[in-house]
Structure 1
Amino acid sequence: MKPWLRHCLLACALCGLQAVQAFQVTDDRGVVVTFPQAPQRIVSLLPSLTETICELGQCHRLVGVDRYSNWPATVLALPQVGGGMDPNIEGIVALKPDVVVLAQSSRAIVRLESLGLKVVALEPKSHADVRRVIGKMGQVLDVPHETGPARVWRVIDAGVSAAAQSLPARVKNTRVYFEVNRGPYAAGESSFMGETLARLGVKNIVPKALGPFPKLNPEYVVRANPDVIMIGERNVQGMAQRPGWAGIRAIREQRVCVFKPDESDILIRPGPRMAEAARLMAKCLQDKAP
């Protein structure tokens, strides 16, 4: 074979290989994002996505994160580029990412895309969403499904089931109020946190009809009179002094679980630590349920 022909065939083969490596991912906006190859420089503007990337064994591809990403500990050494609502656009661009992953509600999307950056918006709100988003991140990272996303979801699902099985029968049907933020904003039945509570066998006082994380009239909680309240240390101050709340059974009988900031981070992030969140909820119920 003549040398020039051999070189042509080799070039064609390489072109074919590059074509095979190109792939597409459809994000939660329905936008199709095309990658010529698996991105090696990633900026994450959502803690749950940061944790998912690392749980899939690809923490080394992160070159920047939002200010709230704090797990695993290795990400604390990365440049911080603001938050999803107030991103440092110049800082993100300076990191030269192959892709920026963020929440669908982030204000950064339009600006980043206008600057020519690839953006993948993913925002899990339910257990099904978490499973799907882990799968989507696996696609973005181009990791094998069975040993990557499928494995991570199996661990989460099994952990939540184990937490449920650990609870004594007396806990079942306990009426729970989970406050995620002052307002008060609650975790409703349709949220991933509400779905975890349901799998633990307890009753959420906030029905699906009110949405995943509704802002409630404080009187609603008084009327619902939950048996147990779950709340973060950041939000608990002044709770008992709200009008009428001193008479709520959970407060009157001291059946309130106050989670430390690092525990709250675990509980409010729809990602790979959801099994650990279920264990925290289960421990609360074992200690505080009537």
Structure 2
Amino acid sequence: MLRHFSRALAFVPWLIQSAQAVTVVDDRQQKIQISQAPQRIVSLLPSLTETVCALNQCHKLVGLDRYSNWPASVKNLPRVGGGLDPNIESIVALKPDLVLAAGSTRGADRLQALGLTVLRLEPRNHEDAQRVWHTVGQALHVPTADSDRAWQGIQAGVQTAVQSLLPKARQQRVYFEVSPAPYGASEASFIGETLTRMGVSNILPASMGPFPLVNPEWVVQAKPDVIMVGDSSRISMSQRPGWSGLRAMQGQRLCVFKQDESDMLVRAGPRMAEGARLMADCLNRAATDVATALIKPGIGR
């Protein structure tokens, strides 16, 4: 009897913590009060969805944006549009006690006006990602020690990827394309910051903003040694004037990431370490003149 009572007491601090109201600050510097641990969560941004699940709260998700696709357990959840076109009626019908959205999500003010608790967060660099991780953890009433431990694990994974880079792979000049518009990842983005930690030069300076719209001619003039792109960019790249003459294209120092790899790479969340490993692998292969996503499994097709 005493043993069972002692076990029950072990849960008391957690129960007390989960019952306490918390106040968190979102990206618009709004103070959001969350009276108790949310039980029904709608997420409108993939990186936030992944953060919820990485904090072992995946079972509380009841609705998602159309792009959230990891982990596999979320794939059958109801879809409520995207950040640019959220379905307000569908979201309200799910009766969430917390809505996680990007700062740019349309309709967020409307959802708040309807009485829903909306927390707006959108990580763009490593500092953002850490802040968002801890803010979501706090909002979900995850014990701080657990949240800290998990984040340290993510950072350790990123550092392991950084250290795996071969000496001759450093000092390469890289162009990382996020989408075929084309939008790129600059030094100010979490992708660019990871490349900087690897000792790699990014042709897109921080002054352009984290994910700038890029003039294709800029890339031609910059002459990157390595190009990293998603599979959706492959066709459009061959049609851009001057790109066929780039040394990265001619030397096959080109990594084309499959869709699931691209999804992981462009989300500032719990899978950043896996993304860093993909980039390090690409750079190492480029340095040894065998980098090509067309023939190397694990990098692309």
Normalising to structure 1: TM-score of the pair? 0.91
Name the residue aligned to 1:269: 267
* Structure 1 gap segments, 5+ residues each: 1-16
Q: Which residue number corresponds to residue 213 of structure 1?
A: 211
Over 3 Å counting, the alpha-carbon distance change for 1:286 and 1:18 in structure 2 is: closer
Q: Where does residue 233 of structure 1 map in the other structure?
A: 231
Deviations 1:106-133 (A, max 9, x none): 0021111121111000011110100000
In the alignment, what sits opposite 1:114?
113
Structure 2 stretches of 5 or more lacking a match?
Answer: 1-15, 290-301
Equivalent position of 2:123 in the other structure: 124
Contact 2:27–2:120 under 8 Å retained in 1:
yes
What is the CA-CA distance between 1:240 and the residue it aligns to? 2.4
Cα separation, partners in 2 of 1:19 and 1:166, compared to 1, 3 Å? closer
Distance, in Å, in 2 between the alignment partners of 1:134 and 1:20 is 21
Render the CA deviation track for 1:143-191: whole Å, top value 9, x for unaligned. Answer: 111112x122211211111111111100010000001112321100000
Give the 3 Å change call, closer, same or farther, for CA 143–244 of structure 1 in structure 2. same
Which amino acid counterpart does residue 62 of structure 2 have in structure 1? V
The number of aligned residues is 273
Identity of aligned residues (%): 60
Q: Distance in 2 between matches of 1:96 and 1:124?
A: 26
Q: For 2:238 and 2:25, locate their aligned partners in 1 and report how far apart those are by CA, in whole Å.
A: 46
Greater than 2 Å deviation, 4+ residue runs: 17-20
Q: Aligned runs of 1:148-159 on 2, under 5 Å? A: 148=147, 150-159=148-157
Instruction: Give the direction of change, closer, same or farther, for the CA distance of 1:19–1:197 in structure 2 (3 Å limit).
Output: closer
Task: Give the superposed CA RMSD.
Answer: 1.5
CA distance in 1 between partners of 2:172 and 2:286 (Å): 10
1:240–1:251 CA contact under 8 A, matched in 2: no
Aligned equivalents of 1:23, 1:52: Cα separation in 2: 19
Match of 2:59 in 1: 60
Superposed CA offset, 1:21-80 (max 9, x none): 122111111111112211111100000000000100111111111111110111112111
CA positional deviation for 1:20: 6.8
For normalisation by structure 2, the TM-score amounts to 0.88
- 1:46 maps to 45
Deviates more, 1:34-43 or 1:125-134: 34-43
Whichever of the two has the greater Rg, that structure is 1
- C-alpha contact 2:42 2:100 (8 A) present in aligned 1: yes
Letter in 2 for 1:288: A
Q: Distance in 1 between matches of 2:70 and 2:20?
A: 31
Contact 1:42 1:97 in 2 (8 A): yes
SS in structure 2 of the partner of residue 188 of structure 1: coil
Indicate the residue corresponding to 1:195 in structure 2: 193
2:239 & 2:41 partners in 1: Cα distance? Answer: 45
> How many angstroms apart in 1 are the aligned matches of 2:157 and 2:73?
24
